[in-house]
Structure formats: C-alpha cells, structure tokens
Amino acid sequence: MEDPESAGAAPPPGLSSLLPPREFLRSRKGQLLLAESVLSFIIFICYIASLAASFMMAPLLEFLLALFLFFAYASKLNEKFKGVHWPLADFLRCVTAAIIYFAISIAAVSKYSDGASKAAGVFGFAATIVFAIDFYITFNDLVTFLKQGSSDSPEGHKTE
C-alpha cells in the first residue's frame, strides 16, 4: 500500500493546520513577533509569581496582541482586510509596548526586592529592545507605505 504523504497528498487537517507557514517563521517579522510573544508571556508569568503582581496586565495584553498579529500576518489577514492600516496599527502597538515595558521594568527593578520582580524587570528591558527594533523596522515600512499613497495622489491631480 502506498504512503499518502509520499504520493504528494495534502496532510490531514489537524493540529498542524494551526501552525504558521515555515516561510513566515523564517522572516524577520515572524521572528520578531514570536520573540515579542514569548518575552511577554515570560514577563507575565514572572509578574504573577512576584510581589509586583499589579504589573501583570500590561504583559498579558501585549502577549495577546503580539499573538494575534503573529497569526494575522501568518494567515495573511493583512492582505485580506485592506481597510485596516496594518503598518500603522503595528507601529502604534510597538511604540506603546516599548514605552510601557521600559516604565514597568524600571519600577519592578527599583521598587521590589524579590527575585521574580527582578527577573520580570530584566526580561522587560529585553522586551523593550525587541519592541524598539520592531517599531524601527515598522516605521521604515510605514514611511514607504505613506510615500506610496502620497505619490499616487499628486499624479491624479495633475491629469485633472
């Protein structure tokens, strides 16, 4: 009997259908979003175990947003829903996340003395750097996106 995978047939649907494509995982955006999700989840767990549990909401929200965008970009929702300005939304998410992580990391390291708070602060500084890299790259994409939109409109006005 012939093996269905060797015959070139599509694998049966299951848990593997939820995994993002390998090309996206190798892309810079995929790796940044994956790093943001993992760091946010680690920081969330650290804040739950620490005395600074009041800071746990920010990493939870950032984890959920990064996870949503990871699967949105992986399933190419940004190409299907053109009404959403994806680069702008991603840029604003990254800027606010970097600022919030920087602020709560300083507070967690300086105000609390337990090890979990210190660990959350250190991971928060790492997340600040990852989000800053992402918003720098996204800013360049956003500028290109806006230049394309503005360069189309003056040509349309010249023909009128």
- Neighbour-count burial for 118-156, b at 16+ CB within 10 Å, e otherwise: bbbbebbebbbebbbbbbebbeeebeebeeeeeeeeeee
Sign of CA pseudo-dihedral 26, 32, 33, 38:
positive
Query: What's residue 105's pLDDT?
Result: 94
- In the block, residue with structure tokens 């005395």: 51
Tokens 């967690």 appear where? 108
In residues, how long is the chain?
A: 160
Note the pLDDT tens digit of each residue in 25-75.
788 888 999 999 999 999 999 999 999 888 999 999 999 999 998 888 888
Nearest to 32 by CA among 60, 2, 85, 74: 74
Domain boundaries along the sequence of the chain: 24-78+102-148
pLDDT at residue 110 in the model: 93
Q: Decide: pTM greater than 0.95.
A: no
The per-residue pLDDT for 83 is 80
